[in-house]
A = this chain, B = another copy of it.
Amino acid sequence: MRDAVAALVRDGDTVVIEGFTHLICFAAGHEIIRQRRRELTLCRLTPDLIYDQMIAAGCARKLVFSWAGNPGAGSLHAFRRAVEGKGPPLELEEYSHFGMVGRLSAGAARLPFWPMRNYMGTDLPAANPRIASIECPYTGERLATVPALNPDVTIVHAQRADADGNTQIWGLLGVQKEAAFASRRVIVVVEELVDQSVIRADPNRTLIPGIAVDAVVVEPWGAHPSYAQGYYDRDNAFYVGWEPVSRDPAALAAYLDEYVYGVRDRREYVERSGGLEQLRAAARVCAGVNYGY
């Protein structure tokens, strides 16, 4: 992870760490904090705890997003302090989920914009002038548009990949595929590195092809406190516990000192966190299908 982030994430980059509640790569976010990347434009539908930590650590110049909260548990207070004028400033570019999905879809298709029926009757276009509109050449209707998002680097967590980066994901898929195809550079972080024969045995399960991937990093528990279907459960206690930490800048700084700056790598984070084994997934293995002919 250290080498991948050192080589592929640069100061000033537009960075996407995706994963909709599922497969959020905290391991990569922590490594970016440790390597003290600065002036990043952080993009994500749901900034989640990892972007709260990256904002608190001073990595971010700008946030591009659609829902900034601690799902089910409260607020992202480092984010809020910045936006409410009580902390270092943070530029915002705000969409809805559909808008962010459209931006990444356009990026993946290498189109300059994405059309959608959306935003009529809302204040979102007034708050974000990049939400524009277009006239349909067939019906004359006006449709909303969002501009393509083509990140410098996207980091995707996944259950497994081969050494070439052919990546398989199951459970919630979010916008992992779109983000990877939209990006100039892609890091895939996996729970398990598997032999290519495992990938080739079930090619419909592959979401991102190796030709779109620049680095594969093996990092078990790399998505904790989010989860990896079939590997480990969401650590809900951590999410609930983040509320008071995030609310108190000193507590947040102490958290970063202990769990990010204070460990060398993910293995040490897992050791220091302790007790993660109780989140290990139960077995609910499905049957295979026949690829014969």
Do B281 and A285 touch (CB < 8 A)?
A: no
Residues of B within 8 Å of A282, CB to CB, are 292-293
Residues of B within 8 Å of A133, CB to CB, are 137
Do B230 and A292 touch (CB < 8 A)?
A: yes
A189, chain B: closest CB distance, angstroms: 18
Asked if A287 CB lies within 8 Å of chain B CBs, one says: yes
A116, chain B: closest CB distance, angstroms: 7
Residues of B within 8 Å of A170, CB to CB, are 204, 289, 291
Q: Enumerate A175-225 residues with CB–CB distance to B below 8 Å.
A: 198, 201-202, 204-205
CA distance A111 to B141 in the complex (A): 10
A119, chain B: closest CB distance, angstroms: 13
Closest to A282 in B: B292
Asked if A112 CB lies within 8 Å of chain B CBs, one says: yes
Do B204 and A171 touch (CB < 8 A)?
A: yes
From known contacts A132-B137, A137-B133, A145-B137, infer whether A227 and B293 are also in contact, taking CB-CB under 8 Å.
Answer: yes
CA distance A134 to B204 in the complex (A): 35
Asked if A19 CB lies within 8 Å of chain B CBs, one says: no
Do B287 and A288 touch (CB < 8 A)?
A: yes
Residues of B within 8 Å of A234, CB to CB, are 293
Asked if A51 CB lies within 8 Å of chain B CBs, one says: no
Asked if A99 CB lies within 8 Å of chain B CBs, one says: no
Asked if A95 CB lies within 8 Å of chain B CBs, one says: no
Residues of B within 8 Å of A110, CB to CB, are 117
Asked if A286 CB lies within 8 Å of chain B CBs, one says: yes
Asked if A165 CB lies within 8 Å of chain B CBs, one says: no
Q: How many copies does the complex hold?
A: 2
CA distance A204 to B201 in the complex (A): 16
A270, chain B: closest CB distance, angstroms: 18
Do A285 and B293 touch (CB < 8 A)?
A: no
Q: Please tell me which one of the listed residues B138, B147, B230, B290 contacts residue A113 in the complex, with CB atoms under 8 A apart.
A: B138
Q: Please tell me which one of the listed residues B147, B159, B227, B292 contacts residue A284 in the complex, with CB atoms under 8 A apart.
A: B292
Do B137 and A113 touch (CB < 8 A)?
A: yes
A44, chain B: closest CB distance, angstroms: 22
CA distance A115 to B227 in the complex (A): 36
CA distance A231 to B170 in the complex (A): 24
Closest to A137 in B: B132
Question: Per-residue CB proximity of A114-143 to B under 8 Å, as 1/0?
Answer: 011100000000000010111111110101
**A residues engaging B (CB < 8 A)?**
110-113, 115-117, 130, 132-139, 141, 143, 145, 147, 159, 168, 170-171, 173, 198, 201-202, 204-205, 227, 229-234, 281-293
